[in-house]
C-alpha cells in the first residue's frame, strides 16, 4: 500500500503514520524530518532550507523534491511508502506523479486529516520531541513518565524552534494557501479518504480499520 498523508500541521499526521505502520511493511518518509536531518548535519541543502523552516515558510519545491526522490528511489521495492508532509504544493503533487510513474510505484490512497486552528495551536505549542528516537510527546495530552525526558531513549526532550504560536499561525496560513487546494487534486483522482484529526488515537485507529476494510473491498 502506497499512501500520502495530507492535513494541516498538528492535525495528527505523525500519530496516524505510527498507527498505519504498526504491523505493516511501510516506509514512513517525512520531508520535515529529512529537512531537519540535513539542517542538523549542516549540509548545503540543510543550510539553504534552514531560514525557510524557521520562519514557517515552504522550502523551494526543487530542494524538497530532490530529497524525497533520493529517499523513494532507495526504498526496497516491495515496501509500501507513507509520505508525510509531501506534497505541499500543486507543483509537488505533479512532480510526485511523474516520479512515481518513473519508478513504477503508484499511489493507492491519500488520507486527509483535518483539525481546526485552536486545536492545532494547543497541540503544537505543547508538543515536545526526542530528536534521536523521533518520539513525540505533549506536555498535557501525552506527557513522558519523567518530565522533560524521552521514555525510550532517556534523551532530553526539545521544543522544535518552529513550534511557537507565531510560527504555527504562519504555517497554517501557508497550508491554507498552498496545500489545502491539493486535497481536491486527490479527490478528483478518486483516492481521497477524509479523517477527523480531533479524534484521539483509539478512535483514529477505528477509522483506520474501516479504511483498510474499504480498501480490501476495492482490491
Ligand atoms: P513538518 O515537520 O512537516 O511540520 O515540516 C516542517 C517544515 O519543513 C515546514 O514548515 C516547511 O518549512 C518544511 N517542509 C517540510 N516538508 C515540506 C515540503 N514538502 N515542501 C516545502 N517545505 C517543506
Q: Is residue 10 classed as helix, strand or coil in its secondary structure? A: coil
- Helix runs in the chain, H state only: 13-21, 31-40, 44-55, 61-74, 90-103, 117-125, 165-174, 181-189, 201-218
Report the predicted TM-score, pTM, of the whole model to 2 decimal places: 0.89
Q: Measured from the CB, is residue 9 less than 6 Å from ligand 1?
A: yes
Atom 14 in ligand 1: residue holding the nearest Cα: 32
Length of the chain, in residues:
219
- 158, three cell numbers: 526539545
Query: Which tens digit of pLDDT belongs to each residue from 72-88?
Result: 999 888 889 999 999 99
Enclosing domain of residue 78: 3-116+178-218
Burial 176-194 (b: 16+ CB within 10 A, else e): eebbeebbebbeeeeebbe
Q: Measured from the CB, is residue 34 less than 6 Å from ligand 1?
A: no
Is the residue at 46 inside a domain? yes
Q: Measured from the CB, is residue 111 less than 6 Å from ligand 1?
A: no
Which segments in the chain show pLDDT lower than 50?
none
CA distance 22 to 210: 16
Is the residue at 42 inside a domain? yes
Residues 105 and 2: beta-carbon distance below 8 Å: yes
pLDDT, position 5: 95
Q: Which atom of ligand 1 is nearest to the CA of 30?
A: 3
Is the residue at 127 inside a domain? no
- Mutation probe of ligand 1 site: the residue of 11, 31, 63, 68 with most atoms within 8 A of C-beta: 31
pLDDT, position 209: 84
- Helix runs in 22-133, H state only: 31-40, 44-55, 61-74, 90-103, 117-125
Residues tagged active-site: 13, 88, 127, 160, 171
Q: What distance in angstroms lies between residue 172's CA and the mean position of ligand 1's atoms?
A: 12
Q: Which atom of ligand 1 is nearest to the CA of 36?
A: 8
Is the residue at 163 inside a domain? no
Distance of CA 199 to the CA centre of its chain: 17
The domain that holds 87 is classified in CATH as: 3.40.50.300
Relative orientation angle of helices 181-189 and 90-103, to the nearest 10 degrees: 40
pLDDT, position 219: 66
Q: Measured from the CB, is residue 8 less than 6 Å from ligand 1?
A: no
pLDDT, position 19: 85
Is the residue at 138 inside a domain? no
Is the residue at 73 inside a domain? yes
Is the residue at 168 inside a domain? no
Is the residue at 18 inside a domain? yes
Number of domains comprising the chain: 1
> Radius of gyration over alpha carbons of the chain, in Å?
17
Amino acid at each position: 500500500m502506497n499512501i500520502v498523508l495530507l492535513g494541516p500541521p498538528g492535525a495528527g499526521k505523525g500519530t496516524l503514520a505510527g498507527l498505519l505502520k504498526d504491523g505493516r511493511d511501510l516506509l514512513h518518509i517525512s520531508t520535515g524530518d529529512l529537512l531537519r536531518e540535513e539542517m542538523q548535519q549542516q549540509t548545503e541543502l540543510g543550510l539553504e532550507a534552514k531560514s525557510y523552516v524557521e520562519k514557517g515558510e515552504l522550502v523551494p519545491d526543487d530542494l524538497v523534491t530532490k530529497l524525497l526522490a533520493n529517499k523513494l528511489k532507495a526504498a526496497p521495492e516491495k515496501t509500501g511508502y507513507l509520505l508525510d508532509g509531501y506534497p505541499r504544493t500543486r507543483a509537488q503533487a505533479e512532480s510526485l506523479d511523474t516520479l512515481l510513474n518513473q519508478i513504477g510505484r503508484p499511489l493507492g490512497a491519500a488520507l486527509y486529516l483535518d483539525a481546526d486552528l485552536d486545536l492545532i495551536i494547543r497541540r503544537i505549542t505543547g508538543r515536545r520531541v526526542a530528536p534521536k528516537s523521533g518520539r513525540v510527546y505533549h506536555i498535557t495530552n501525552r506527557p513522558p513518565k519523567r518530565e522533560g525526558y524521552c521514555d525510550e531513549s532517556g534523551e532530553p526532550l526539545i521544543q522544535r524552534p518552529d513550534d511557537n504560536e507565531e510560527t504555527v499561525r504562519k504555517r497554517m496560513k501557508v497550508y491554507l494557501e498552498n496545500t489545502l487546494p491539493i486535497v481536491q487534486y486527490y479527490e478528483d483522482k478518486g483516492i481521497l479518504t477524509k479523517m477527523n484529526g480531533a479524534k484521539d488515537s483509539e478512535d483514529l485507529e477505528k477509522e483506520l480499520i474501516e479504511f483498510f476494510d474499504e480498501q480490501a473491498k476495492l482490491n
